[in-house]
A and B are shown apart, each in its own frame.
Chain A
Amino acid sequence: MTATSATWRKARKNRVVVGSGGVLLLLVVMALLGPLISPHGYLDTDFGRILHAPTATELQLFGTDDLGRDLFVRTMLGIQVTLLVAVVASIVSLAIGVLYGAVAGYVGGRVDAVMMRLVDTLYALPFIFFVILLMVVFERNFLLIFIAIGAINWLDMARIVRGQTLSLREREFVEAARLMGASTPRIILRHIAPNLIGVVVVYVTLTIPQAILVESFLSFLGLGIQEPRTSLGALVDAGVNHMEGAAWMLLIPAALLALILLCFNFLGDGLRDVFDSRHKS
């Protein structure tokens, strides 16, 4: 417990972690409160104000789209959807990856060899094309997007968790548990898993931007989030179609998407530094 709180203290002193984490927190608060403050609804069309440039009057800070809908509200909802998909998809990939990696690493031997050979095989596949196929073949719904994105991102997690487990397995406290007659599932869940939290936290922050990328890629191609719902990828797609007359439709969601991805990547890198330096000392 003390090791964890010491790590958090170190994390709070790390400028990269605090900076990127702060920006993300601010964006989340803005995305949640924005639609409540604005007088416009995300579905309200106003054909008297089609493709209006951003203005402070009537709080249309991000302008309107080709149907006269307020883009501030739509962008905030897009951020909500993008983050929701990313977090849920990351939890899916975390669950699969941690379980798979911990079992492979703890059981070891031939089982480990076969399981990791499968991971290597899957690594070589152009997964995104399968996701596209999945989206085409079945009805496009939220649940499917979560599962599909989660299912392609667990490979890295499995590898990292396996590596950690291999070294944890040889530690004294695991040996003690084994001597006291603890079963394999109990050792994995009660003794190995809690010690993986640090690594897992770091890699989840690096998995989230991957999930955001896939979601917005699909939405950009028109295969992800469907109208009238929206996400940052779908907004960028709409922006591309109107960029010559209404550059804000492209630039604002594009900039926010880039900012979110940048922050998550910096956060992950920063956290990795924090955890690594603990391992070194």
Chain B
Amino acid sequence: MLRYALLRLLGAIPTLLLVIVLAFLMVHAAPGGPFDAERALPPEIEANIARAYHLDEPLHRQFLRYVSGVVRGDLGPSYRYRDHTVGELIASAFPLSLKLGAMAMALAIVVGVVAGTVAALRQGSGVDRLVMALAMTGISIPVFVIAPVLVLFLAVKLQWLPAGWSGNAHGVRLLLPVISLALPQIAYIARLTRASMIDVLASDFVRTARAQGLGTFAIVRYHALKPAMLPVLSYMGPAIAAILTGSVVVEEIFGIPGLGQFFIRGALNRDYTLVLGIIVFYATLVILLNLIVDILYGVIDPRIRQR
């Protein structure tokens, strides 16, 4: 098991290197330097700035410098937020995004699995069709449509929930952002759960369990749930990526000062080092979480480990 995990970890290194190369080249292919927008400076000062940020070195030198920095956990200085390193900015903004994402993921898994299981148990019934129609709607409607419409009805018109963000990350203020972020994932997970649960419920060991006189709840709880969760588990990778993407929009709409907002601000301000750093950070996060999902998959399903 440990060997399997280590092998997978080694396999993740080239992927991460690919990310860094791609992002680094894109940033450096940008026409013009990062400080061009400001008023014309004397050439000596420009040369000084270039030297301070190592922009006067050849590209491969800069790249090696960057990679060795990443290995040490140093993502360099921000071009726009002077006196701050990219690492500090990420460290200050990420906890809030993590909280938001984790809550959305938990909500999505719980609601999605329950809805999908209920639909599978009542296959073909009105409940099933309702759940599937809602799931299709949830998959189709993007987060940036769901979130403002929820705000418009629940916060502006009915005034049940607060719309804005006032600095504290507690209770009801997180409710709308978390729901908006979770809805599409609830829909995907419900569909996946329903499909695999229907397969599992038709299998021999479930029939045996039923013949032994077990109730529906016990069959699902003790026999069907674990094998039916495998497709859902393998969807966790894409789900994590989708929640990261969605959090950019949700943070923008609700004015939450998380990492997604920093990313968009950085992008619009052409703060290349910040954008590059956040991409490297996100990619590392996604790759590591995918790795954890893979290893969990091996823990739950021993057949995977043999290969």
Contacts and interface: CB of A to CB of B under 8 A. Distances in A.
Interface string A199-221: 00000000001000100110011
A125 interface: yes
Contact of A124 (B15, B22, B136, B139): B15
Contact of A220 (B22, B249, B268, B278): B249
Contacts of B264: 132, 221
Nearest to B290: A124
Interface string A132-149: 111111100000000000
A199 B151 CA distance: 40
Interface string B14-51: 11001100110011011100000000000000000000
B261 to A, nearest CB: 11
A7 to B, nearest CB: 23
A265 B140 contact: yes
Given A133-B279, A213-B142, A261-B142, A223 B267 contact: yes
Interface stretch (B114-122, B280-288, B299-307): B280-288
Contacts of B245: 126, 128-129, 217
A226 B290 CA distance: 35
B136 A132 contact: no
Interface string B230-266: 0000000110010011001100110000000001100
Nearest to A262: B140
Given A126-B286, A129-B279, A236 B140 contact: no
Contacts of B283: 125-126, 129
Interface of B: prevailing SS? helix
Contact of B148 (A132, A250, A262, A269): A250
A254 interface: yes
A130 B22 contact: yes
Interface stretch (A94-102, A107-115, A237-245): A237-245
Interface of B: 14-15, 18-19, 22-23, 26-27, 29-31, 136-137, 139-142, 144-145, 148-149, 151-152, 156, 237-238, 241, 244-245, 248-249, 252-253, 263-264, 267-268, 270, 272, 275-276, 278-279, 282-283, 286-287, 290
Interface of A: 121, 123-126, 128-130, 132-138, 209, 213, 216-217, 220-223, 233, 236-237, 239-240, 243-244, 247, 250-251, 254, 257-258, 261-262, 264-266, 269
17 contacts: A121-B18, A124-B237, A129-B282, A129-B283, A132-B263, A133-B26, A133-B275, A133-B279, A134-B26, A136-B270, A137-B27, A217-B144, A217-B249, A220-B144, A221-B252, A254-B148, A262-B140
